[in-house]
Amino acid sequence: MIHFTNTSPSRSKVYLVGAGPGDPGLLTLKAQAVLKRADVVIYDYLANPIFLKYAENAELINAGKRYNQHTLSQDTINELLVEKAQEGKIVVRLKGGDPFLFGRGSEELSAVLKTNIPFEVVPGVSSATGVPVYAGIPLTHRDYSSNVVFLTGVEHPEKEHSMINWEAIAKISTIVVMMGLRGLPNITECLMEAGRAPQTPVVVIQWGTWTRQYSVQGTLQTIAEEVEKNQMEAPVLTIIGQVCQFYQQFNWFEKQPLFGQHILVTRTESGPSSLTELLIDAGAHVTSCPTISIEAPLSWEPFDQIIQNPEKIDWTVFTSSNAIEQCMERLRVLGKDTRIFGSCQIACVGAATATYLEQFSLIADVVPRHYQSEGLADVLKKYDWHGQHVWFPQAEKTRGVLQNKISEWGGIVHSTPVYRNVLPMIEMDPIVALLEEKEINWITFTSSSMVKNFFQLLPDKGKIALKQWAPSVACIGKVTADTVYEHGLSVDLIPRQQDIEGLVAALCGTDCSSLNINRYNKFT
């Protein structure tokens, strides 16, 4: 009898996953699902590190390779794939672009195949096709290009002879060269010698689909000089052919209102950031700096007591989305739900907070235009507050501006803490490095707490770099701007529509009437 053996544990599997060219939105749903299951992720230099957030419980191994700078050799990567899988783990090899297009994916699978370990390949958006789209260059066109060739700019160093037939390549309408930065002078020379016209349009794109994308255009005769003059660095993609004439017309990505702007966004540590998402949608390169960590209050007793008699509450006021989230979670823990709000009116500090409230099937009765407690106070002052019981589920140690106003108007205020703003445990060295290298164009602040915590977290060398470089500062409102001013910085922008959408619109310059361009002074 013949016995077949499988050397790999039953759970073992290797996934070769294409991460796409860089834009987080181009990661496939399947790739995201596989990352969530991973025990080990071996990732490349060109795979956007933001994707690693999906692999929450995985061991992360950097296998990045750049020109003459290999973190791990290819043989070591092959051995790691096998070794980790033989430990009974799900291993994800995360590669930039598509793993089977000049990605050496087949070499890695060959190593896995020898061990009988199960494997799967998840295709990705290749930089060869994705990057031209972000530069507005159609690779084919009925009038100009009926064929395309994809060409590597780096052949195997041990080859005796090149496998590239330049005479044949030169006849192709559109030529896409990957990894061809250092070989560009030779590539263009070979194409011209093979008969391609020196005036053929060429576009070279650096960091395509990333928010730091940068493009240079020229001709087959001039492009190498243009690339050197503009000090372009890898990774680049080169497109050669008449289709490059559409670059100026269709280049939508680099024409976004905040393209080229590097914005440091101070934010809470957990949960999605609508500000970050809107800024990225507008083309900005965003670096997040968590300055607030949300934790449970020291005691839930005041909250638990007030919801025993919800019918006595006339108004509930939510001053943040965090307050809503923590409030609803506590109700769930206590076996209660939103029916406790059935007999009261609800006010929210701004549109974003009101929108978040709608997720719980609750509609705010009052929402001010200005995203500050002062803005809500202006709206609420027209109501009769005498004898009204007003409940504030809120953060500990808040400013209490609105509570004091309502008390002055005759209302009975009940403030119950539902969360605490505490300093997160984060590494600030990367932020300091960006400030020292003068990489940051804007810093945004959406609350005074974020300002205070940012300066508390920032080490002295970071504060020195901040004042020397003095990036522009955008604040959501005057109160936040006052806090920035107290810390020795000026403020360049305060939107009149004081909410997240207004702040982004002001940064984009799409609502110029709402801008305060002049440097803000707290005494003006």
Using alpha carbons only, what angle is made at residue 462 by residues 267 and 438, rounded to the nearest 5 degrees? 90
Which DSSP string do the residues of 88-111 spell out, in sequence order? T-EEEEEESB-TTSSS-HHHHHHH
Query: For 335, left (φ over 0), alpha (ψ -120 to 50), or beta?
Result: left
What's the CA gap between 422 and 388, in Å, rounded?
Answer: 32
Q: Is 179 a catalytic residue?
A: yes
Nearest 5 degrees, angle CA 310-CA 315-CA 316?
80
Query: What token pair was written down for 440?
Result: 């940051």
Tell me how many degrees the CA angle 271-274-278 measures, rounded to the nearest 5: 145
For residue 450, indicate whether it is catalytic. no
Which residues, listed in sequence order, are joined to residue 60 by a DSSP beta bridge?
Answer: 41
Total residue length of the chain: 524
The dihedral sign for the CA sequence 421, 425, 430, 432: positive
Asked if 451 contacts 479 with a C-beta cutoff of 8 angstroms, the reply is no
Active-site residue (options: 23, 39, 44, 492):
44
Q: How far apart are CA 29 and CA 38, in angstroms?
A: 15
CB 244 within 8 A of CB 174: no
Task: Confirm whether 312 is a catalytic residue.
Answer: no
Whose tokens are 């920035």? That residue is: 484
Q: Decide if 44 contacts 150 (C-beta within 8 A).
A: no
d(CA 203, CA 246): 10
DSSP for 131-186, written as a single string:
HHHHTT--S-BTTTBS-EEEEES---TT-SS----HHHHHTSSEEEEES-STTHHH
Q: Which of 30, 65, 171, 336 is catalytic?
A: 65
Nearby residues of 522 by Cβ (< 8 Å), 6 or more positions away:
481, 482, 485, 486
Q: Supply 396's token pair.
A: 């500990």
Q: Which of 178, 179, 232, 450 is catalytic?
A: 179
CB neighbours (10 Å) of residue 404?
Answer: 13
User: Is omega for the bond preceding 49 within 30 degrees of 0, making it cis?
Assistant: no
As annotated, the active-site residues are 44, 65, 179
